[in-house]
Structures are given as structure tokens and as C-alpha cells.
Structure 1
Amino acid sequence: MNPDSITALITQLFGADSLMPVDALIIMGSPHHIDEIAQAANVIIQTTKPSVVIPSGYQGEAEALADACIKHGAPAERFVLEQYARHTEENVRYSLALIDNLPEIRHIGCVCKNYASLRCRLTFERYRSGHKHYVFTVNLFEEALKDFQRNPFFKQKLIGELKKVLDYSARGWIASIPSGEPYTQADIEQLYRALLTSGKSTSKATH
């Protein structure tokens, strides 16, 4: 794949939805960058106006996210914690189980790091039950998604995420690529190999 094709496919795969009103908002857990995620999540909360906010993650991740969001001004009464999920599949599945017990929830938003958006989107597609879902992202890098090649760490994160998507697919944890999408499973596999190869070439050149 040439560089332009790689960039075009990355922006397609890892793009975010435009902010719009939702009934519930799930914040995907993370052991790192809690404050940055919370600050971005608060902007999303103010714009999307969910009636319930669900930080999801074990070992204190959900609590830390909720505390940071509330510290930055989010309304504490809207928070419901999901404290058991150890990875994205459980984040989605356990949070949706909480939402299924709430009335009048039709539109669900998810807040995640931008390099995790594809895995989140396809996991929601796998487990949602009649809900419309949207993926809103947080960028932890100075570079925009289309400029990821400028930052080796950003690039490594995207390579890691593509591998996780393929692993999740093998486990049956994500939905199949919808036929209407401009990309296929084979495109994801080809992109992963191309980035992995270019990453190894760059690493050798710097030694």
C-alpha cells in the first residue's frame, strides 16, 4: 500500500462521529491519561447532554474517570459506574447490560481514544440490541489522525489496535464489517501488514 492509501484508510477506519444528543454516554476505561480523557469527555457531555453517563473499567478506572469528570464540572447525579470490565468487549457488554435496565434509552454514545475507535465501533455493533450508537473520540496526541505518521508512538498505537481488531474478530467479539462500508476485513489485514512492515523498516533505519 502506498502512503496516501494508508492515510486514507486510517482516516476511514478510525474516524469519529459528529457530536449529537444521546440518551446515555459510555466512557471507556483506561489506566492512563485519566484527566485528559475526563476533560474531553466533559466537552462531549456538555454537547451531547446524556441523561446517564457510565464510566466503565475495573481496578478503579471507572471511579477515577467519574471523579475526574465531576471535578471538571460534570453533574454527579448522572453517573452510574460499571466497575468490572477488563477490556473493550466487557466495557461494551457490561455497560449495555446496565443500559438495558434503564427506561427510554435509544441513542448511545461512546467516548474512547481515537486509535481505539474502530474496535469500539465494531464491538458496539456486535452487542447492541436495538440502540443507535455513536463513537466520540479523544486525541491524546498533538498530531491529527491524518498526520499519524509524524508520531512513531501514535503509529505504534494504531498498529496495536489493528492487531486487536483482528484478534477480536477471531474471538467473535466484534461484528463483521458491514457490506456498505468502503473497507473490508481484507483491507484491515493488508493495512496491518503494511504498517507493521513500515514500522520495522523505520526501526532498522534508526539503529
Structure 2
Amino acid sequence: MISTQTWADARRLWDHHLMHHTPRPCSVAIGLGSHDLGVADAAVELYRRGMAPLIVFTGATSPTTRDRMPRGEAVHYRERALELGVPDGAVLVEPHARNTGENIRFSRALLEENGVDVSSVLLVSKPYEERRANATARKLWPGVEFVSASSPMTFEEYVASIRDDRLVIDMLVGALQRLTIYPDRGFMVADPAPGEVTAAYERLCRAGFTSRLVAEGRGTVGQ
């Protein structure tokens, strides 16, 4: 049974992970690969609204997506976008990235190879990954403005969509830890959390929501 305090703490982390940006027209939308096809759906909706003339989907496979997306996350995202009516010429695929840092670096290289002039990026991710993706992108691609976006849903709606309450809280905790330790490793810019967010994170760790934490002595760029 998850306590009222735990739900309140998880909701506080969820709200912090969202950048609360208002989408605006950008040079390109980049959809970061994951298990969640909602990222592709959000990128398509932004494209339909005229927020970007081009979409890049980036991502290989991971242990959590190998069975669900055997052709690779970016490829499955592209297939979803085409099913939803996006023209083939408006989608580029970067199929090699295995973490957030590689998502950014490889997408940047792909756009340069295709002669796309980029001054701003709609960075589309899972909701709880907005802040981490933004901090990683600002570190690895200076001089570009990043506008974060994700599927518009409440915390309760996201929990219901995953159908695993504990896993969602574990993911929120893991994402906050990375925001805390990765700047010192040079993986992202510093984006310190307010005291009340840190306190909520520490309570959740003490309550055992730690399955998505990484060992603090190691890590992969932007993972």
C-alpha cells in the first residue's frame, strides 16, 4: 500500500521533471527513443500544429525495448508517425543512440549531414524525462535553444497508463538522482532542485523506491 505522503512526494518530483515550456515553432523536433510510443505521438501532434517542419527520431534498442521494438526505437517511432499521416520526407531516423547523450550528439550529426540549419529544437521525451533531456542537450549542443515537450497528461494519467505504481515512482526517483550527480561528470548542465524536491526524493529513497538508481561511482554519458 502506497502512503498518502509517498504519493505527494512522487507528484512533487513529477512536477519538477516537467519543464512547463509552451511549445513554439522550432527548426526541428527530436523525439527521444524509449519504450513509450507516446513520444512519437507527441512529436506528430507538434508537427501537425506547425511547430516543426521536420522530425528526427533517435534510438536503438535497450533491454526494455528489445522485445517490444525489435527494429529499434527510432524505426518504430517513424513507422508510427507515417501511420499517423506524416510524410516520409518529413522524418529522419537516427538508429544508433543508446542513451540521452548519444540521442543528442547523433541527432546533431545527422542534421548537419543533411544540411539542416538548426537554431532551436523541440525536444520531445517522456514527461518525467523533460528536465534531464533538456539539461543534457544544453550541455552537448550549446548555442541552440531547446523547448521541452511531452505527451500532455497528468501524473495520475501517466501512472494509469503504465499500470505499475511502484515502477513509476522508481523512475521518478532515478531521473532526479541523475539530475543531481550527472553535472559533476560533465554529462549535463547543473540544474539544482529546490529544497522541497530534494526532501521528497530523500523520503522516497528511504521508503525503498530505489530500483532505478545508478551507482554513483560509474555511469554512461547522458544515460
TM range (shorter): 0.7 to 0.9
Bigger mean CA offset, 43-52 vs 63-72? 43-52
Answer yes or no: is 1:74 the counterpart of 2:70: no
- Provide the C-alpha distance between the structure 2 equivalents of 1:126 and 1:187, rounded to a whole number of angstroms: 25
* TM-score where L is the length of structure 1: 0.76
The 8 Å contact of residues 20 and 47 in structure 1, kept in 2 or not, is answered as no
- Provide the C-alpha distance between the structure 2 equivalents of 1:122 and 1:90, rounded to a whole number of angstroms: 14
* TM-score where L is the length of structure 2: 0.71
The 8 Å contact of residues 21 and 147 in structure 2, kept in 1 or not, is answered as yes
- Provide the C-alpha distance between the structure 1 equivalents of 2:10 and 2:76, rounded to a whole number of angstroms: 36
Corresponding letter in the other structure for 2:31: I
Query: Shift in Å at residue 27 of structure 1?
Result: 0.4
Query: Shift in Å at residue 85 of structure 1?
Result: 0.6
Aligned residues: 190
Corresponding letter in the other structure for 2:57: P
- Structure-2 change in CA distance of 1:158 and 1:193 (3 Å): same
Answer yes or no: is 1:15 the counterpart of 2:19: yes
Query: Shift in Å at residue 9 of structure 1?
Result: 5.9
Gap regions ≥5 residues in structure 2: 62-71, 159-163, 210-223
- Provide the C-alpha distance between the structure 1 equivalents of 2:165 and 2:19, rounded to a whole number of angstroms: 18
The 3-state SS of whatever aligns with 1:22 is: coil
| 1:88 equivalent among 97, 100, 118 | 100
Alignment of 1:157-176 (within 5 A): 157-176=171-190
Task: Please identify which structure carries the higher helix content.
Answer: 1
Query: Shift in Å at residue 167 of structure 1?
Result: 4.1
- Provide the C-alpha distance between the structure 2 equivalents of 1:45 and 1:162, rounded to a whole number of angstroms: 29
Alignment of 1:1-207 (within 5 A): 7-8=11-12, 10-30=14-34, 32-34=35-37, 36-59=38-61, 60-101=72-113, 102-138=115-151, 143=156, 151-177=165-191, 183=193, 189-199=198-208
- Provide the C-alpha distance between the structure 2 equivalents of 1:99 and 1:191, rounded to a whole number of angstroms: 39
- Structure-2 change in CA distance of 1:118 and 1:24 (3 Å): same
Query: Shift in Å at residue 190 of structure 1?
Result: 4.1
- Provide the C-alpha distance between the structure 2 equivalents of 1:61 and 1:140, rounded to a whole number of angstroms: 22
Gap regions ≥5 residues in structure 1: 201-207
The 8 Å contact of residues 101 and 140 in structure 2, kept in 1 or not, is answered as no
Query: Shift in Å at residue 5 of structure 1?
Result: 7.8
Residues 41-97 of structure 1 deviation map (CA, whole Å, 9 limit, x = unaligned): 211221243222110001411111111111111121011111111011111121122
Corresponding letter in the other structure for 2:144: H
- Provide the C-alpha distance between the structure 2 equivalents of 1:44 and 1:51, rounded to a whole number of angstroms: 10
Query: Shift in Å at residue 130 of structure 1?
Result: 1.4
Query: Shift in Å at residue 142 of structure 1?
Result: 6.6
